[in-house]
Structure 1
Amino acid sequence: MAPEAEYKEEEIMKVKITGKSHVKPSKKLGRRECRLVTFDLPYIAFHYNQKLLVYKGNEYDDMVGKLKDGLGAVLEDFYQLAGKLARDEEGVLSVEYDDDMEGVEVVEAKAEWISVEDLAVELGTSTLKELIPYNGILNSEGLHRPLLSMQLTKLEDGLAMGLAFNHAIIDGTSTWHFMSSWAQICSGLPSVTVLPFLDRTKVRNTKVKLHPPPPDQDAQNASSNGTADAKPVDPPLRERVFKFSESAIDKIKSKVNSNPPSDGSKPFSTFQSLAVHMWRHVTQARQLKPEDHTVFTVFADCRKRVDPPMPESYFGNLIQAVYTVTAVGLLSMNPPEFGASMIQKAIEMHDAKAIEERNRQFERSPKIFQFKDAGVNCVSVGSSPRFPVYEVDFGWGKPETVRSGINNRFDGMVYLYRGKSGGRSIDAEISLEAGAMERLEEDKEFVVEVN
């Protein structure tokens, strides 16, 4: 662990930053380097991926000490998170680690006016903004910043753990693999039970030269400079967590599967059923014209889809966006199985051959993704209810709340989490233009009531 840095107490709104340090792997590893591959590069102009886990407990200093010690140990295997991005003279990006690097950034803070219960609210992210680092920071900044930053904030009755992961180096599966492994070490296990598979070139070994280089500033969140050519300001967004209980999920799934297609297709999965439910009702809340188009986008895990398949422990990005598009009138006037069947077929068709073609297209003409690339009038799903977010126990109990930060939000972005109550319950964290959100909240068929 690096020695505590000199710091000057400063105030961000009401959250006081009280200290800052860096944590490295507990033992010397020497120099390590791994080239970023085609699956990683599209996300270089996304923002750092932010997560917030809130825990109960009154032993803040002990909790922080335990987290730092466990972090040093787990970074021996997950050392890429303690490194930096590098770009060579050809424009090829890699993730590099060296013992001389600073490591993971750890900020300590106090917000003792906030309780654990305060952070369990289902609305908005304005309070969360103060608890998670790297708001509005692009992944390309990983050339100059740590690839993982965290803020550990002392609450009235607990600890808020705000994390910012560089999305150009890991996806959701890798994020929660790391979090679970870190928790295991803190809970007393001598070593990580499932080691990360770190050689990205085993899944793709094509050198991709990014020209022009990745952006060095956030054009999408840039403040208006007051000039005549300033871009119009997007309408304000609202965020809301909609909690679907086990019985609500079962009701939605049963309805979508009540009249299965006659072509012998498989029954619709829980994800496909909830996906079409959200897509239809969000589209209705937007009050679009029947001839308008709408897109459903899901970032599919490709670990078992590529040839040869990669292990679940593959550490990096191994996802691709899968798009489904139709006219608003067709989606809304047909029964839900119409949209569910489109989503199901799009996901099933995204096989090794489709993945290979997508990679070749990108390598011929690299395109750095922006939010608008998710599609017109989109509902775009990130995260997954498969991730064990409420199982991350560092030794003082499971989290009371798991949320996303303000980064990578746009009109139609959805983060799905396994519900805290477990089983088949799912929390959907949705961002929408304010008027559409108000109509969605009033839609009694969307917020399923179970007798």
Structure 2
Amino acid sequence: MVSSSSSSSSPSSEVKIISECFVKPKIITEKSKEPYHLSPLEHFILSTHYIQKGLIFLKPSISESDNPKDFMETWLLKLKDSLAATLVYFYPLAGRLSTTEIQNPRSLSVFVDCNNSPGAGFIHAKSDLSVGDIVGSKYVPLVVQSFFDHHKAMNYDGHTMSLLSLKVTELVDGVFIGLSMNHSLGDGSSFWQFFNSLSEIFSSQEVTTSNNNNNLLCLKNPPIFREVSGPIYKLPLSEPGELISRYESPVLKERMFHFSSETVRSLKLKANQECGTTNISSLQSLTAFIWRCITRARKLPNDQETTCRLAADNRSRMDPPLPLSYFGVCISAANTVVRIGNLLENDFGWVALKLHQAVSEHTSEKISADMDEWLKCPFLLQLDRVFDPTIVHMGSSPRFNKYGCEFGMGKAVAVRSGYGGKYDGKVSAYPGREGDGSIDLEVCLLPEFMEALESDQEFMSLVSSSSS
């Protein structure tokens, strides 16, 4: 089930690696012995970063007669065993990428090979930091990047790195579970489906010291994988090295801003009242608000254009729709482009309605047309192309069940992310810890823009002081 591994470099010496290994699925199914070929969209993002999201927990109270070391050893053994069981269902995550070169014309096709892989990564680390050091800071500390494996790795690196790596960092009074998943295998919906499935199996099984293949839990929401039929997609490139473009993020300030359920509801009500409709959603309203505030903080000319990108899950939009438990990359961006003068001078509701219209027009027909256009002249998404000084990108989703993962330690204190996929104007939406429609926004900006945003009275008046 396990074997030794090596981790990519960490950006901080405050985190010490205690042990690391690979974990294979408890059962090797017949399906996992076959190549799992990437779709065109999954090829498209080979040159972007791994998804890196994690949860921070307080350690449970331990009686004086119990040994904290024994608790962690037992807990880690159970987590490792749970990972082996979960990988039976999510078998591609235990593999490695492999590339087939095809001649006449020369092209490449990338697939997952589970036969020649040591498995998923599992790392135990320690830090002298406390939970308060992480969640109590005004800005997300740089050390959080050390709580994830595969720092700065690109998806194409999955040829030599694990496609999934779980890093557990033991804090003085807490535990951080950092998960790094190759983005070419799945999107945010798939990522959190795996995280929730791992928690479900952890909560339902006993610790085992051997491969007990007869006691696998039947998941409530098992993943549904794409059936590979028809011609395998081929990328018209002649050299594998053409796939990779390394991206170094500029120095950013990263801060969590909390919006209470009352604030979110009031923004939604205001947007709909100003437009005489009831169709504008909470996230569209909040996105309109943050788009205006960030654009105002940047102090760009009014005649310049600005773009807001909303990451859209395409599963329910396809015709016929895909099941919500479909595992893979099934997202694209709903874009709204306006002049900065129009963005700032028009009513708030006008901006929210523009976003709503872009989402409403993001139909199966448009998604298919965009893919057909890309197939005529394929290229790989490069993060340096994504970076633009006028863009605000809203990623992730407050609908993901991020606080449903408990791992025997109760509800997580907070969600944090790693280095991957961050640039000036990148915003990620998380559910607020208290639920009830509250939302946390993880905002990444250049330092001078963050300072201007924090000086914006309209923006800060809606931010709750209870941000975690």
Q: One fold, TM greater than 0.5?
A: yes
Counterpart check, 1:343 vs 2:359: no
User: Which of the numbers 273, 277, 283 marks the counterpart of 2:295?
Assistant: 283
Q: Secondary structure at the match of 1:395?
A: coil
User: How far apart are the structure 1 equivalents of 2:118 and 2:88?
Assistant: 14
CA RMSD of aligned residues (A): 2.2
Q: Does the CA-based 8 Å contact 1:374-1:380 persist in structure 2?
A: no
TM-score scaled by length of structure 1: 0.90
Give the structure 2 partner of residue 226 of structure 1: none
Residue 444 (structure 1) shift: 2.1
Q: Secondary structure at the match of 1:408?
A: coil
| Aligned pairs, number | 431
- Letter of the 1:16 partner, please give it: K
User: How far apart are the structure 2 equivalents of 1:196 and 1:437?
Assistant: 39
Give the structure 1 partner of residue 254 of structure 2: 239
Greater than 6 Å deviation, 4+ residue runs: none
- Letter of the 1:324 partner, please give it: T
Give the structure 2 partner of residue 230 of structure 1: none
Residue 44 (structure 1) shift: 0.8
When structure 1 is superposed on structure 2, of 269-278 and 89-98 the one drifting more is 89-98
Long gaps (5+) in structure 2: 60-67, 103-107, 206-216
User: How far apart are the structure 2 equivalents of 1:380 and 1:171?
Assistant: 16
Give the structure 1 partner of residue 189 of structure 2: 173
When structure 1 is superposed on structure 2, of 363-372 and 429-438 the one drifting more is 363-372
Residue 325 (structure 1) shift: 0.5
State the Cα deviation string for residues 132-163 of structure 1 (Å, max 9, x = none).
Answer: 11111111101111101121111101211112
User: How far apart are the structure 1 equivalents of 2:161 and 2:245?
Assistant: 15
Residue 171 (structure 1) shift: 0.2
State the Cα deviation string for residues 314-363 of structure 1 (Å, max 9, x = none).
Answer: 10000011211011000000001211111111111111110111111111
User: Which of the numbers 234, 238, 257 marks the counterpart of 2:272?
Assistant: 257
Q: Secondary structure at the match of 1:27?
A: coil
Residue pairs, 1:211-360, within 5 angstroms = 211-212=237-238, 213=240, 215=242, 218-221=245-248, 236-261=251-276, 266-360=278-372
Give the structure 1 partner of residue 208 of structure 2: none
Counterpart check, 1:74 vs 2:76: no
Q: Does the CA-based 8 Å contact 1:105-1:150 persist in structure 2?
A: yes
Q: Does the CA-based 8 Å contact 2:134-2:140 persist in structure 1?
A: no
The structure carrying a bigger helix percent of its residues is 2
User: Which of the numbers 395, 409, 426 marks the counterpart of 1:382?
Assistant: 395
User: Which of the numbers 413, 434, 440 marks the counterpart of 1:427?
Assistant: 440
User: How far apart are the structure 2 equivalents of 1:24 and 1:411?
Assistant: 38
User: How far apart are the structure 2 equivalents of 1:214 and 1:257?
Assistant: 49
User: How far apart are the structure 1 equivalents of 2:100 and 2:340?
Assistant: 46
State the Cα deviation string for residues 233-288 of structure 1 (Å, max 9, x = none).
Answer: x8632111111111111222222222115xxx543110110010010000000011
User: Which of the numbers 216, 233, 257 marks the counterpart of 1:207?
Assistant: 233
User: How far apart are the structure 2 equivalents of 1:412 and 1:292?
Assistant: 16
- Letter of the 2:134 partner, please give it: L
Q: Does the CA-based 8 Å contact 2:11-2:145 persist in structure 1?
A: no
TM-score scaled by length of structure 2: 0.87
User: Which of the numbers 181, 185, 199 marks the counterpart of 1:183?
Assistant: 199
- Letter of the 2:54 partner, please give it: L
User: How far apart are the structure 2 equivalents of 1:70 and 1:201?
Assistant: 28
User: How far apart are the structure 1 equivalents of 2:57 and 2:140?
Assistant: 19
Residue 447 (structure 1) shift: 2.5
User: How far apart are the structure 2 equivalents of 1:250 and 1:92?
Assistant: 47
User: How far apart are the structure 2 equivalents of 1:3 and 1:208?
Assistant: 34
Q: 1:423 to 1:441 in 2, by over 3 A?
A: same
User: How far apart are the structure 1 equivalents of 2:28 and 2:298?
Assistant: 55
Give the structure 2 partner of residue 373 of structure 1: 386
Long gaps (5+) in structure 1: 222-233
When structure 1 is superposed on structure 2, of 23-32 and 172-181 the one drifting more is 23-32
Give the structure 2 partner of residue 228 of structure 1: none
Q: Secondary structure at the match of 1:177?
A: helix
Q: Secondary structure at the match of 1:88?
A: strand
Residue 428 (structure 1) shift: 0.3
User: How far apart are the structure 2 equivalents of 1:46 and 1:196?
Assistant: 23
Counterpart check, 1:108 vs 2:124: yes
Q: Does the CA-based 8 Å contact 1:119-1:401 persist in structure 2?
A: no
Give the structure 1 partner of residue 112 of structure 2: 95
Residue 375 (structure 1) shift: 5.2
User: How far apart are the structure 1 equivalents of 2:4 and 2:232?
Assistant: 41
Q: 1:151 to 1:398 in 2, by over 3 A?
A: same
User: How far apart are the structure 2 equivalents of 1:307 and 1:374?
Assistant: 32
Counterpart check, 1:406 vs 2:419: yes
User: How far apart are the structure 2 equivalents of 1:450 and 1:82?
Assistant: 41
Q: 1:171 to 1:258 in 2, by over 3 A?
A: same
Counterpart check, 1:197 vs 2:197: no
Q: 1:318 to 1:389 in 2, by over 3 A?
A: same
Q: Percent identity?
A: 32
Q: Does the CA-based 8 Å contact 1:60-1:159 persist in structure 2?
A: no
Q: Does the CA-based 8 Å contact 2:257-2:463 persist in structure 1?
A: no
Q: Secondary structure at the match of 1:320?
A: strand
Residue 214 (structure 1) shift: 5.7
User: How far apart are the structure 2 equivalents of 1:11 and 1:377?
Assistant: 29
